[in-house]
Amino acid sequence: DKGGYRHFMLKEIFEQPAVLSRTLQGRISKTRVMEQAFGADAEKIFDQVKGVQIVACGTSYHAGLVAKYWLESIAGLPCNVEVASEYRYRRVFVSKDTLFITISQSGETADTLAALREAKKSHYLASLVICNAPNSSLVRESDLVFMTQAGPEIGVASTKAFTTQLVALQLLTIALGRRHGLAEQTEADMVGSLASLPDQIETALGLDDTIKHVSEKFADKHHALFLGRGVEYPVAMEGALKLKEISYIHAESYPAGELKHGPLALVDANMPIVAVAPNNDLMEKLKSNLEEVQARGGKLFVFSDQADAFPSSEEVTVIDVQSVPDTIAPMVYTIPLQLLSYHVAIVKGTDVDQPRNLAKSVTVE
């Protein structure tokens, strides 16, 4: 049932305030993360964790990449992230007391499951899955389980599963961070921001009309570049994946600092460039990267809460996102990118919920 929406994808995008609030429910108090959400043995296992290995595919892999920034900068733990199809076939070096984490909406992705089975033969401390499907293989075979509460996701393009995974990973970051010097006040601030997330996402969904407008400028394009820096780089990767998956426009993502090492050669007036640009420590750096793009005639689409920093012009479209704390910016900035890919697909007339050549759950290698 599409609940009155034209597509499952749109319904699922708009469900995010509700499912995020469900994912948080019972997992946070006013100021603290309740780590039992990760399972009865979580406390004991978390005490011993000295590092993290994350394995996943597609959108879930992008969630893992966001978590790497959080785990290293907030929890002070080393973190590796790898796509499952690579991880499962190579000899890996496992450091002592490393927690092995899989992330999966379906819990049945063949490569991710195979990676978990491989990992069990190595000397990991324990395994944890962040999953949306109860009773799935990954849930059955992992030591610790965190269930995202996104509800069934029907659209092939993953939307609400991603933002709920990010919430799960931030709760994990806090739970582990506590054991490595994360201040109680920082935890309380982060928890407060998470509690505000459903409302913030609701506000971001208000960009729908604006983005519908912007999407028309993409429909005749064959390529697009998505740029971000720091924790927003994987958000840009996810934006690019969404666009290619449902609109069939070739989209690539780059950490903006890499532009001049090659991709700048692609930039001309036919190349839309999407920038994820919240006001954070790296915004000034990003801004100068974008000036280089502009100097080559590129058309910029900047998602930012600092409209003044990127004045609109013929060449620059600024999409004004509300200002939010850094820790929840990846979730909030994901919303307009989801809407962008949706509306571009609509203009192009592609099959939004069932893109060609793709399956919702990839249970074969």
Asked if residue 338 binds ligand M6R (CB under 6 A), the reply is no
Binding test (CB under 6 A) with ligand M6R, winner from 42, 49, 57, 150: 57
Q: What does the DSSP 8-state code read for residue 328?
A: G
Q: Which is nearer to ligand M6R, 89 or 322 (CB)?
A: 89
Asked if residue 245 binds ligand M6R (CB under 6 A), the reply is yes
Among 18-26, 53-61, 115-123, 266-274, which window interacts with ligand M6R (CB under 6 A)? Answer: 53-61
Among 142-150, 152-160, 215-223, 343-351, which window interacts with ligand M6R (CB under 6 A)? Answer: 152-160
Q: Which residue is nearest to ligand M6R (CB)?
A: 58
Binding test (CB under 6 A) with ligand M6R, winner from 156, 191, 214, 275: 156
Residue with tokens 């609400």: 160
Asked if residue 194 binds ligand M6R (CB under 6 A), the reply is no
Q: Which string of x and - marks every residue 105-124 that binds ligand M6R (by CB under 6 A)? A: xx--x--x------------
Q: Residue 320 corresponds to which tokens in the numbers above? A: 């004004």
Residue type, 211: I
Asked if residue 361 binds ligand M6R (CB under 6 A), the reply is yes
Q: How far is the CB of 188 from ligand M6R (least distance, A)?
A: 31
Find out whether 145 and 134 touch, Cβ atoms under 8 Å. no
d(CA 161, CA 151): 8
Asked if residue 9 binds ligand M6R (CB under 6 A), the reply is no
Q: Residue 317 corresponds to which tokens in the numbers above? A: 């479209």
Q: Residue 239 corresponds to which tokens in the numbers above? A: 């934006």
360 an active-site residue?
Answer: yes
Find out whether 130 and 165 touch, Cβ atoms under 8 Å. yes
Q: Which is nearer to ligand M6R, 53 or 317 (CB)?
A: 53
Residues 6+ apart with CB under 8 A from 183: none
Asked if residue 164 binds ligand M6R (CB under 6 A), the reply is no
Q: Which is nearer to ligand M6R, 190 or 246 (CB)?
A: 246
CA distances from 354 to 220, 249, 336 (A): 21, 16, 21
Task: Look at phi and psi of residue 241 and say left if phi exceeds 0, alpha if psi is from -120 to 50, else beta.
Answer: alpha
Asked if residue 59 binds ligand M6R (CB under 6 A), the reply is yes
Q: Which is nearer to ligand M6R, 60 or 149 (CB)?
A: 60
Among 52-60, 75-83, 198-206, 297-305, which window interacts with ligand M6R (CB under 6 A)? Answer: 52-60
Q: Which is nearer to ligand M6R, 308 or 365 (CB)?
A: 365
Q: How far is the CB of 328 from ligand M6R (least distance, A)?
A: 21
99 forms beta bridges with 52, 126
d(CA 307, CA 305): 6
Residues 6+ apart with CB under 8 A from 89: none
Residue with tokens 């759950």: 361
Asked if residue 136 binds ligand M6R (CB under 6 A), the reply is no
Distance separating the N- and C-terminal Cα atoms of the chain: 30
Cα torsion 307, 313, 316, 318 to 10°: value is 30
- The residues that touch ligand M6R, with contacts defined as CB under 6 A, are 57-60, 104-106, 109, 112, 156-158, 241, 245, 361-362
Active site members = 360
